[in-house]
Amino acid sequence: MDEKNYRKGEKYMKQNRPDETGFEKMSDEELSRKVKHYENIERIGEKMIIVMIIALFLTVFLQDNILIDLGLIAFIVLLSFLLPMRAEGKKNALLTQQLGSFFYGELARMFGPAPEKPEMPIDEAFLRRIDPVRSPWEDCEISNFYEGARNGMRFSAANVTLSRRVESDHPDDDFTYPYAAFYGIVLRCKDICGPVADLDLRDRSEFEFAMGLNGTPKHTGYPTRKGGGLDDPVAFTNYYSARTADGTEADDAVTPQIRELIGMLEAFAANSRVAALSLHNGELTLALHTSYKFAYIPPKQDLKNIDGIRMSYTATLTTMAALLDLIRGSFAKI
């Protein structure tokens, strides 16, 4: 459901159907009440942690007793685990258990059933092979992978974050902080173009985003492009490198339709930018920086509103369907 609940590698790629055995199905009203119960526990825990932190600061200033300070710190850590974190985990597990069949059912309804073994995986090995960004990255997080079909076109998609930890430049700060070189979706489409197509486009700019505690970028401002629009061939070569699989420069292979596609991809969702696009053996691979997330429940969604959860989730699938239609329609012109 959220960015923390991702899996990697083969274990993640199995796309297991939800297990509907061993638990009692709740009504929407019962589920909403249970979610509200867990959220109340979270709020109580958060308030208690604030009180304990204030008490810790007062103790440090009013008396010099290291044992009391250590005891308060240990209690704060224990409290943060036992109340809000534990309640949040139970809440998410409950929602996944109760709504998992709906989530998978919507995916299957819109994109057909997932194959038992994916033909187009998006895992760490694949991401390291295509290396879609110029900025360095060490860790990858993959969530909500799905492989299916849209109007006869096979595809796979996943939310992906590529990141690294950076040491603080403040002399008194020994911590490291996460920075994302890529935050968006990776998409693979099969038989989208002729088998002789051989093109790798990469954004020439290097940038990364400071990540917040919730696992999302604090901001996603991209470097400004100067010198013309994407429809200008000269300007486009300043923004994107174009090469064949063997590394040969291939600026001449970038057609007006491909430049138009890049522009449409960046306009399809708010705050999007194409990091990489490749065409090989009839397959398209796209890495798109974007705040849009696939098969996802937005953080601002009221989780007590069960119908709202369903509608928000389905809306993200509808957006993916529109993106696939855009890509398919664009290649119909090429």
Provide the β-strand partners of residue 210: 179
Task: Tell me the residue type at 20.
Answer: E
Handedness of CA 134, 291, 299, 294 (dihedral sign): negative
- Percent of all residues in the chain with a pLDDT value above 90, rounded to a whole number: 60
> So what's the pLDDT on residue 265?
95
Residue with tokens 């691979």: 285
Which one of 77-81, 83-87, 281-285 scores highest in mean pLDDT?
Answer: 281-285
Judged by phi (left if over 0) then psi (alpha if -120 to 50, else beta), residue 281 lies in: left
Looking at residues 240-246, what average pLDDT do you find?
95
Q: Residue 221: exposed, middle, or buried by beta-carbon count in 10 A (0-12, 13-18, 19+)? A: exposed
Looking at residues 32-39, what average pLDDT do you find?
92
Q: Residue 286: exposed, middle, or buried by beta-carbon count in 10 A (0-12, 13-18, 19+)? A: buried
> What's the distance, CA 276 to chain centroid?
16
Looking at residues 64-68, what average pLDDT do you find?
63
Q: Alpha-carbon distance 94 to 295, whole Å?
A: 18
Judged by phi (left if over 0) then psi (alpha if -120 to 50, else beta), residue 229 lies in: beta
Looking at residues 74-93, what average pLDDT do you find?
73
> So what's the pLDDT on residue 8?
35
On the question of pLDDT at 107 being above 60, the answer is yes
Reported as a pLDDT band with limits 50, 70 and 90, residue 88 is: confident
Q: Alpha-carbon distance 225 to 125, whole Å?
A: 31
> So what's the pLDDT on residue 10?
34
Tokens of 96: 């996944």
> So what's the pLDDT on residue 58?
66
295 and 146 Cβ atoms separated by less than 8 Å: yes
The one-character DSSP state at 22 is S
On the question of pLDDT at 268 being above 90, the answer is no
pTM to 2 decimal places: 0.83
Residue with tokens 């401002």: 221
Looking at residues 60-88, what average pLDDT do you find?
65
> So what's the pLDDT on residue 78?
63
Q: Alpha-carbon distance 250 to 238, whole Å?
A: 13
DSSP 3-state of 189: strand
> So what's the pLDDT on residue 46?
72
On the question of pLDDT at 2 being above 60, the answer is no
Q: At what angle do helices 28-62 and 306-333 cross, to 10 degrees?
A: 100
Q: Alpha-carbon distance 45 to 117, whole Å?
A: 42
- Percent of all residues in the chain with a pLDDT value above 70, rounded to a whole number: 81
Q: Which of 6-10, 160-164, 210-214 has the lowest mean pLDDT?
A: 6-10
Contacts of 112 (CB under 8 A, 6+ apart): 148, 149
